[in-house]
């Protein structure tokens, strides 16, 4: 337990939980802004919902509880105690979960998308940071959860650039902030080899493939421009699959449609692997990370979903991956 710690906190109280853990796992999915965690324990002090679960894995420094070693921080949202055995099951979510539990009353975002999203979320009291996303917004949202606004803006960024983004939690010495990060920009890039894999499968799917893309522009609720681009060779092979994108007033529909059909008119290469390793620097691996797989060649993959369990110093990862060509 000298390289892994789980701490429960409520106000000023702290309790070390790692010695009582019988099972711990955490997961993340693409298009979710917060990871989830499940911990099963025995013989622990009384806990309460909304208490904080803090998890550390040794990466830097001499102290395991150094803030840079923390890879999970968030509220307990559910727990159960077996009245016969005394065993506990605790479920927690990352701190970004609160953005799904609070709504904004018809927020209006007008300006550069990343800057507007950052400004809006900061009005909720959350330290939220977002890079420029490369397009402008002029949109009145309905009354909806803050997390839904974030995901909508990031989906629009993907539609226009072909780049996906995820929300990460960055721990500082005294606090934390939420950071929008482009997929594949993780500083530590894992490389897995066949000897680490318990299972591996590969294939393709066309669920997110589109052979036709139409970009439409509206003015005063009336269609003012519409451009359709088609990849004829892929259309002939896979059939007609059309996506319609509504662009902003200052965007060029031709440019958007051309970029999107180029990015989306390909089947997606996928891979599923189960990996065992002992590298504590990878405890924070989440959806959106770039990973490498080394066989006779090294290939690049983006994590679509990650399910991690930890036991006796061994991490077991179940990963769903999407091929990245460059």
- CATH number of the domain within which 132 lies: 3.55.50
Element (H, E) at 321: strand 314-324
Same domain, 121 and 219: no
Same domain, 198 and 291: yes
Same domain, 196 and 287: yes
Same domain, 87 and 26: yes
| Averaged pLDDT score across all residues of the chain | 93
Same domain, 170 and 294: no
Query: Do the Cβ atoms of 52 and 98 come closer than 8 Å?
Result: no
Same domain, 253 and 315: no
Domain end marker among 76, 93, 110: 93
CA angle 322, 28, 14 (to 5 degrees): 155
Same domain, 196 and 313: yes
Handedness of CA 17, 18, 24, 28 (dihedral sign): positive
Q: What is the CATH number of the domain that holds 48?
A: 2.30.300.10
Domain end marker among 239, 264, 289: 264
The domain containing residue 306 runs over which residues? 191-205+268-324
Q: How many Å separate Cα 72 from the centre of its chain? A: 13
Q: Does residue 15 come out as left (phi exceeding 0), alpha (psi in the -120 to 50 range) or beta?
A: beta
Mean pLDDT in residue range 317-326 = 91
Same domain, 34 and 68: yes
Same domain, 178 and 113: yes
> How far, in Å, CA of 133 to CA of 115, rounded?
8
The pLDDT tens digits of the residues spanning 62-84 come to: 899 999 999 999 999 999 999 99
Same domain, 195 and 320: yes
Residue 198, pLDDT above cutoff 70: yes
pLDDT at residue 326, as a whole number: 64
- How many domains does the chain contain in total? 4
Domain end marker among 264, 282, 308: 264
> How crowded is the C-beta side of 314, counted as CA atoms within 13 Å?
8
pLDDT at residue 325, as a whole number: 78
Same domain, 43 and 103: no
Same domain, 129 and 115: yes
The pLDDT tens digits of the residues spanning 112-152 come to: 999 999 999 999 999 999 999 999 999 999 999 999 999 99
Residue 97, pLDDT above cutoff 70: yes
């Amino acid at each position: 337990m000298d390289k892994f710690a789980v701490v429960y906190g409520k106000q000023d109280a702290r309790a070390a939980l790692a010695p009582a853990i019988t099972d711990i796992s955490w997961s993340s999915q693409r298009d979710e802004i917060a990871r989830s965690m499940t911990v099963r324990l025995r013989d622990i002090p009384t806990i309460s919902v909304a208490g904080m679960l803090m998890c550390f894995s040794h990466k830097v420094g001499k102290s395991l509880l150094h803030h840079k070693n923390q890879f999970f921080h968030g509220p307990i949202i559910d727990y159960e105690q077996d009245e016969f055995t005394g065993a506990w099951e605790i479920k927690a979510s990352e701190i970004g979960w609160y953005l799904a539990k609070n709504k904004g009353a018809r927020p209006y975002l007008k300006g550069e998308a990343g800057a507007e999203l950052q400004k809006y979320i900061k009005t909720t009291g959350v330290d939220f940071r977002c890079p420029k996303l490369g397009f402008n917004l002029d949109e009145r949202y309905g009354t909806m959860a803050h997390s839904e606004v974030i995901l909508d803006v990031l989906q629009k960024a993907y539609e226009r650039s072909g780049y996906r983004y995820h929300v990460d939690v960055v721990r500082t010495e005294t606090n934390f902030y939420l950071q929008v990060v482009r997929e594949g920009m993780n500083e530590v890039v894992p490389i897995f080899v066949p000897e680490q894999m318990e299972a591996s499968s590969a294939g393709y799917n066309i669920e997110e493939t589109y052979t036709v893309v139409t970009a439409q522009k509206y003015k005063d609720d009336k269609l003012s421009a519409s451009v359709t681009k088609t990849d004829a060779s892929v259309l002939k092979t896979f059939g007609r699959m059309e996506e319609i994108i509504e662009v902003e007033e200052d965007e060029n529909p031709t440019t958007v449609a051309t970029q999107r059909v180029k990015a989306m008119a390909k089947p997606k290469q996928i891979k599923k692997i189960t990996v065992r390793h002992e590298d504590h620097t990878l405890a924070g691996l989440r959806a959106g990370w770039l990973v490498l797989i080394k066989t006779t060649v090294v290939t690049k993959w983006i994590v679509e979903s990650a399910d991690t369990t930890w036991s006796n110093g061994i991490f077991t990862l179940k990963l769903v991956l999407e091929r990245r060509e460059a």
